[in-house]
Amino acid sequence: MSAHAASPAHIDTSTGLDSRKMAFWTFIGSECLLFGSLIATYMAYKGRSINPPYPHDVVINGKAFHGILNIPLTSFSTFILLMSSVAMVFALWNVQRGNKPWDAFWLFMTALGGSIFLGCQVFEFTHFYHEGLTLRSNLFGSTFYVLTGFHGAHVTVGIIYLITLGVMALRGRIGPERTLNVEIAGLYWHFVDVIWIVIFPLVYLIR
């Protein structure tokens, strides 16, 4: 988020650890509770919607309802998001070694992966909207859109963050001495990935 390398904090700290990185881990800790509460809401209301559309195929009173979730599409976007995490690791690896064009390349690849994931989500949301699932339609609609939307918002912030870093790397403003900036961005990106690793099975795979 910031480039305050001259912060008095990080010159010499009690633990020898960088304050910004520690702050970021603390922030991630806070985010755990943030997403935890959203997931808790989703789980508390799982299977409690009293009108369709339902997430999975279900038979109620002898009447079959078609599940709305598109598992193949989301599996694809999940693969892409995981791949973007791999790209992020490569980006950091190249930044640490000052491999000039490659650091920016992998940063942009990561952002690209995130963008594809986000594109899939936008497609999914519009598709669901046309199928009749809105924020207002039922408990599933509310909990699903807010949970995955919150994650999507995090992805969006991450993409902007990565593109910013990528442009800085292109301009030569990110070298091995500024590794930490990329490392923190990496922590953010991997955390967003980890959250999806939790959301994907809970929302999509487990009925």
Residues 136-165, interacting with other proteins (CB under 8 A)? 136, 138-139, 141-143, 145-146, 164
Q: Which residues contact 100 (CB under 8 A, 6 or more apart)?
A: 172
Asked if residue 21 binds other proteins (CB under 8 A), the reply is: yes
Task: Output the smallest distance, CB 35 to other proteins, in A.
Answer: 8
Asked if residue 194 binds other proteins (CB under 8 A), the reply is: yes
Q: How far is CA 109 from the centre of its chain?
A: 15
Can you spell out the DSSP letters for 160-172? HHHHHHHHHHHTT
Task: Output the smallest distance, CB 101 to other proteins, in A.
Answer: 16
Dist. CA 169–CA 187, nearest whole Å: 18
Task: Output the smallest distance, CB 10 to other proteins, in A.
Answer: 8
Task: Fill in the per-residue mask, 61 to 100: x = in contact with other proteins (CB under 8 A), - = not in contact.
Answer: x---------x---x--xx--xx-xx-xxx--x--xx---
Nearest to 192 by CA among 37, 64, 27: 27
3-class state of residue 141 by DSSP: helix
Which of residues 39 and 170 has its CB atom nearest to other proteins in the complex?
A: 39
Which of residues 29 and 132 has its CB atom nearest to other proteins in the complex?
A: 29
Amino acid at position 89, single letter: V
Footprint of other proteins on 98-127 (CB under 8 A): none
Number of residues that bind other proteins (CB under 8 A): 87
Binding region for other proteins (CB under 8 A) out of 23-31, 108-116, 117-125: 23-31
Other CB atoms within 10 Å distance of the CB of residue 93: 14
Asked if residue 172 binds other proteins (CB under 8 A), the reply is: no
Out of 32, 112, 163, 167, the residue judged to bind other proteins by CB under 8 A: 32
CB-based contact 131:125 (threshold 8 Å): no
Other CB atoms within 10 Å distance of the CB of residue 115: 18
Dist. CA 116–CA 111, nearest whole Å: 9
Beta strands (DSSP E) in 56-187 are: 58-60, 63-65
Task: Output the smallest distance, CB 59 to other proteins, in A.
Answer: 10
Out of 66, 122, 175, 206, the residue judged to bind other proteins by CB under 8 A: 206
Out of 33, 119, 126, 132, the residue judged to bind other proteins by CB under 8 A: 33
